[in-house]
Structure 1
Amino acid sequence: MECIEHMGERDGVWTWQRINQLFNWLPLAALIEDKIICMHGGIGRSINHVEQIENLQRPITMEAGSVILMDLLWSDPTENDSVEGLRPNARGPGLVTFGPDRVMEFCKSNNLQLIVRAHECVMDGFERFAQGHLITLFSATNYCGTANNAGAILVLGRDLVVVPKLIHPLPPAATSPESSPEHQFEDTWMQELNVQRPPTPTRASSTSNIALYRNS
């Protein structure tokens, strides 16, 4: 719908198809120095070894990747370190949340120090889980114009020291272009689109400080 709105039906459909063809070739995870793995969602119920991700054939389809793809793109950590195992995910049927025990087991089996993932709006821009062996990273500030969350990036040193850097949301502008009819139309259009999207739950503020962080 967004492509058609911006480009018309013919060009919009063509662009949407080409973008989806590109997605079928994009990386699903990144491994840094064989110690830190980065992915969008998580390890879910099915991913126990890095090789399972490496062995997915390209171009990929949802049917071919099945459970592994669903877990990589849609799974989330449980509420906190005290909730272990696998639980149903409120995002939808067939999706799961995974506990700190899964994270620790995965890191130990693959000789990893850290999992970095996104997929959830966290109020401080980043949030630690599983005793620091997983970090949720969210770089968009004030998500969808309503969350008022900070964003963050991770700066990674040569010795694998991880330093979170916060991006604070901008304060409201003194002058108000938001009152223009064009802006009001855009806000309404975005709100309608957001209703159709699966929700991104907002986690509470992290209680951890922003100090230098190293896994061991």
Structure 2
Amino acid sequence: MGERDGIWVWHRINRLFNWLPLAALIEKKIICMHGGIGRSINHVEQIENLQRPITMEAGSIVLMDLLWSDPTENDSVEGLRPNARGPGLVTFGPDRVMEFCNNNDLQLIVRAHECVMDGFERFAQGHLITLFSATNYCGTANNAGAILVLGRDLVVVPKLIHPLPPAMSSPEASPERHIEDTWMQVLPLSLC
């Protein structure tokens, strides 16, 4: 695209991000978001009330928590803790997850934002799932990816996406040749 057009496109795409949804509510029972609920988000309406376009200069605590907070390292660590991602960011315990779900009559929080080795990881007795779809993150993690399939009655079924094996020397054994076969084997088309 060249420097001039490339910079123009980059700015336009970044402006578009400021209008994108910050969360999704499924059947008023499951909320999906990037980061988490942090210290400040107690009600879904707080997310709905964030004005668009979003500007990082506005720097609201709600926005920062939504984009950058993470659950604590396990279910036994409750409350809020400083987050290693940076100053002013927090991790939140299973008590915060349960409080948020109860306040909003929700069953589940689905979030991303962290590479997890099995592609998904349950937290807060299954009321929060971290979902990560990229396999072998940054070419070094050798992690699986996952997607969630919602069945009847909002039953959540994780489907794993396994990393491709290392490239082989012969064209017949190359990973590209087997991508379709791997995808169909790992992700059956039937819903539970």
Q: Match for residue 132 of structure 1?
A: 126
In the TM superposition, what is the alpha-carbon distance from 1:176 to its structure 2 partner?
8.0
Corresponding pairs, count? 187
2:164–2:175 CA contact under 8 A, matched in 1:
no
- 2-structure distance, mates of 1:182, 1:91: 35
Residues 111 and 187 (structure 1), Cα distance of their counterparts in 2 relative to 1, 3 Å cut:
closer
Residues 148 and 102 (structure 1), Cα distance of their counterparts in 2 relative to 1, 3 Å cut:
same
Find the residue that maps to 2:76 and give its secondary structure. Answer: coil
Residues 188 and 116 (structure 1), Cα distance of their counterparts in 2 relative to 1, 3 Å cut:
closer
CA-to-partner distance for each residue in 1:85-129, whole Å, 9 max, x for gaps?
A: 111110111111000000000000000000000000000000000
2:96 to 97, 102, 113: 102
Residues 185 and 49 (structure 1), Cα distance of their counterparts in 2 relative to 1, 3 Å cut:
closer
2:162–2:186 CA contact under 8 A, matched in 1:
no
Find the residue that maps to 2:57 and give its secondary structure. Answer: helix
TM-score (normalised: structure 2): 0.86
- 1-structure distance, mates of 2:55, 2:139: 33
In the TM superposition, what is the alpha-carbon distance from 1:11 to its structure 2 partner?
1.5
TM-score (normalised: structure 1): 0.77
- 2-structure distance, mates of 1:128, 1:192: 20
1:56–1:65 CA contact under 8 A, matched in 2:
no
Between the aligned residues of both structures, percent identity stands at: 91
Q: CA RMSD in A?
A: 6.4
Residues 11 and 109 (structure 1), Cα distance of their counterparts in 2 relative to 1, 3 Å cut:
same
CA-to-partner distance for each residue in 1:49-104, whole Å, 9 max, x for gaps?
A: 00000011111112335111111111100000000111111011111100000000
Comparing 60-69 with 75-84, greater Cα deviation is found at: 60-69
Residues 43 and 147 (structure 1), Cα distance of their counterparts in 2 relative to 1, 3 Å cut:
same
Structure 2 stretches of 5 or more lacking a match? 188-192
